[in-house]
Structure 1
């Protein structure tokens, strides 16, 4: 037991060193459902490489109405198994935005999660993938940040993190869940295989699933499969994750777009040049010595760098601006 605890502690330290401000890009509507506390299990084909705060970024693909309908129906049905019928779904599913964060407390195999009777049935019904990341304590950004995502877990750029962490607000979940640790002395005790000794095949629930729940599960699987097939064709093992290749160019900074809830867009230049290209409102521009010097000069006049579109909330803007102090 001592050896096991020591090993898990080492893995925890290693993940903290590797991921300073970890972020995961997800397709919509799954990204918003997770940040709004409706989704508690993030399903993957690979185990969670970390515990602690995980930022959630919405990929660029606009979700179609059928996918949104299928996933909302899935959650209506599984919550109903615990008598919860009043679920407030997100009004919008924005894309290419940093939405908020959750706390990943561990990761289990699907067969462990579905048999864990300490959890509400609605949570166990979310165990539809090989590995289940256990997420709690969601927080959303009052002002979602427009940014580019990457494949897998990656670190947020420092300036984006410093602005985002100031803009978090609590979320009212339809059924808040706290995942109990098998070993209260070990914060990393929720890992794949950690609950296997508690369960056997004979303990697997044999209760018949209501037809409406079975239909909702089938719809959710079909909705997720559209992305899994695309990922497999590209030689990846990701699930519900935006397949965005990392730039071959090295970034020395990141421009930041902030969109308020009333639809206004603000653009903050980073004041530092990129190698390869610069991004402004999704338009790529080649870097030349001339525009590199132009970029450096613009940082001296931050106020003139700000591009505003009509209709912004001054209070929201001031809150976001507070977190974007350039060196």
Structure 2
């Protein structure tokens, strides 16, 4: 099965079902189940006010402390169900656009890098992560072995 390395804390938020979007600069046509891999390094991040509101309203306890996160491990699974621009989720990075006065259509501004919002669903957080797994860029294959839950 394919795996995707996602830096912490984003990987944990996705596996808990809190974060429903993964933002990437490249588009994917892949749809289906992937492993969520938390690499050795953490992301530099800051939550927006809307994201903080979501975190406070979820029943899942999420600590904003990277010491509590698992690193260099496959921590769960999720489905990629779509890949769009400017999704309405609080986790989606937005691209700037103008509105055509004649048609009302949204027109992306020229010169900005694309940010694709991968829409995620059906997350599964493993009770016991698969530890000591080195990741890779883009999608990569991880061979199943004993101890990996089957769905």
- Structure possessing the higher radius of gyration over alpha carbons: 1
Structure 1, unpaired ranges of 5+: 1-20, 115-122, 169-327
Greater strand fraction, Structure 1 or Structure 2:
2
Instruction: State yes or no: 1:56 paired with 2:36.
Output: yes
- What residue in structure 1 maps to residue 147 of structure 2? 163
- What residue in structure 2 maps to residue 153 of structure 1? 139
8 A contact 2:18–2:58 mirrored in 1:
no
- TM-score (structure 2 length as normaliser): 0.72
Structure 2, unpaired ranges of 5+: 95-114
Q: What displacement does 1:52 show?
A: 1.1
SS in structure 2 of the partner of residue 76 of structure 1: helix
CA-to-aligned-CA distance 1:274-311 (integer Å, 9 cap, x gap): xxxxxxxxxxxxxxxxxxxxxxxxxxxxxxxxxxxxxx
- What residue in structure 2 maps to residue 139 of structure 1? 124
- What residue in structure 1 maps to residue 57 of structure 2? 84
SS in structure 2 of the partner of residue 165 of structure 1: coil
SS in structure 2 of the partner of residue 158 of structure 1: coil
Q: What displacement does 1:73 show?
A: 6.1
8 A contact 1:51–1:106 mirrored in 2:
yes
Instruction: State yes or no: 1:75 paired with 2:51.
Output: yes
- Distance change (3 Å), C-alpha of 1:87 and 1:151: same
The separation in 2 between residues aligned to 1:154 and 1:56, in whole angstroms, is 11
8 A contact 1:29–1:71 mirrored in 2:
no
Q: What displacement does 1:142 show?
A: 1.1
Instruction: Please provide the CA RMSD for this pair.
Output: 2.7
Q: Which has the higher contact order (CA 8 A, sep 6+)?
A: 2
Instruction: State yes or no: 1:98 paired with 2:83.
Output: no
The separation in 2 between residues aligned to 1:138 and 1:85, in whole angstroms, is 15
- Distance change (3 Å), C-alpha of 1:98 and 1:86: closer
CA-to-aligned-CA distance 1:23-62 (integer Å, 9 cap, x gap): 0011111111111111000011111241111110001014
